[in-house]
Amino acid sequence: MITHSHEHDGHSHPPTDARQYDRAFAIGIALNLGFVLVEAFYGWQVNSLALLADAGHNLSDVAGLILAWVALIASRLHANERHTYGWRKGSILASFLNAIILLLAMGSLGWESIQRLQHPEPMVGETVILVAGIGVVINAVTAWLFMSGSRTDLNLRGAFLHMAADALVSVGVVLAGLLYLWQGWQWIDPVLSLLIAAVIVLGTWSLFRQSLHLMFDGVPEQVDLPAVREYLLGLPGVCDAHDLHVWAMSSAEIALTAHLSVGGDTDRDALLRTATQGLHERFAIDHATIQLEHDSGCQLSCSR
């Protein structure tokens, strides 16, 4: 006899309230798009590489925010006969693309900084400081809007990292302006831009690596697969666990399938309830599909 347990339906149940971030995305996109226009205008007026590069970076982040928002909306679409898991995987794809966009933006910033370092140019320090200071506030506020969700959702983490990175770049631009006014160092603008780009690349690499891992159905980093196997083997009546697979359905949802060999005297309904509840409580796995297989040689005494 074979028994199955499916602890999910065709709808999405993300751990974070996805709709609460609609307003955060709308505010973040509007603020950053407006700031891009202001920063690009004044960067062009005062010939500041830091401001122009930061404006380009902010524009890429607006695209990243839009991408993350679209993925969040797509994750709410119900499953159908063509997409039995819905569009949840889109949040992982958005995380990956956001990491790529951010890495490319920092590569561009680094290249421009090297070019400007070879040919330093003067800048209007006061204007640079004022515009970048506004950017610090806007980016910090936008990052704060996604801070709580970034702890549990990789897609929201991508949005948070984008905004936090922008805030850091803007802080660097302010410092460049202050140091220029103080010492008159024309090289300080590209040097600080290089340092900031390096810091952001280091911080973004984890997002890139994790999202790429999940795109190929890798086991989420927060899940200890040996511990999951040990837990299943320790259930009453279970003698063997095989065909165990754990993967991410979305940037915030984890799924599991497994075959468990049990003895003939095992209370299968109770076992399935215990297994799915334990997987939820211990490993945050809410989408578990367990197949029970009768093993005539399996006795209750073999369970731990």
Instruction: Determine the 3-state secondary structure of 294 from DSSP.
Output: strand
Dihedrals phi, psi of 2, to nearest 5 degrees? -120, 135
Q: At what angle do helices 225-233 and 268-283 cross, to 10 degrees?
A: 150
% of residues, the chain, pLDDT over 70: 87
> CA-to-CA distance for 54 and 106, rounded, in angstroms?
10
- CATH architecture of the domain 20-215 equals Up-down Bundle (1.20)
Q: Give the integer Cα–Cα distance in Å for 51 and 135.
A: 10
Mind listing the pLDDT tens digit for each residue in 165-184? 778 877 877 887 888 888 77
Amino acid at 117: L
Residue 155 burial by Cβ neighbours in a 10 Å radius (0-12, 13-18, 19+): buried
Per DSSP (E only), the strands in the chain are 2-6, 238-248, 254-262, 287-294
- If phi > 0 it is left, if psi is from -120 to 50 it is alpha, else beta; for residue 219 that is beta
Q: What is the pLDDT of residue 297?
A: 67
The dihedral region occupied by 123, where left means phi > 0, alpha psi between -120 and 50, and beta the remainder, is: beta
**CA gyration radius, the chain:** 25
Is 120 buried (19+), middle (13-18) or exposed (0-12) by CB count in 10 A? middle
Q: Which residues pair with 241 in a beta bridge?
A: 260
Whether the pLDDT of residue 10 is over 50: the answer is no
d(CA 81, CA 84): 6
61 in Cβ contact with 80 (< 8 Å): no
Scanning the structure block, which residue is given the tokens 């999951």? 228
Q: Are 229 and 242 in contact (CB under 8 A)?
A: no
pLDDT digits (tens, 9 = 90+) for 57-116: 677 778 778 878 887 787 777 777 888 777 878 878 888 887 888 888 788 878 878 887
For residue 100, give Cα distances in angstroms to 67, 89, 201, 206, 221: 12, 17, 10, 12, 20
Tokens 């075959």 -> residue: 259
**CA-to-CA distance for 52 and 60, rounded, in angstroms?**
13
| Per-residue pLDDT, 274 | 92
Mean pLDDT, the chain, whole residue set: 80
DSSP E strand stretches across 100-249: 238-248
Q: Which of 159, 144, 59 is nearest to 109 (CA)?
A: 59
Fold matches, 20-215 and 220-302 = no
DSSP SS3 for 132? helix
Q: Which one has a higher pLDDT value, 11 or 260? A: 260
Q: Which CATH superfamily is domain 220-302 in?
A: Cation efflux protein, cytoplasmic domain (3.30.70.1350)
In the chain, what are the domain boundaries?
20-215, 220-302
Q: What is the pLDDT of residue 128?
A: 77
CA atoms within 13 A on the CB side of 229: 11
pLDDT in tens, 45-64: 777 666 676 677 677 778 77
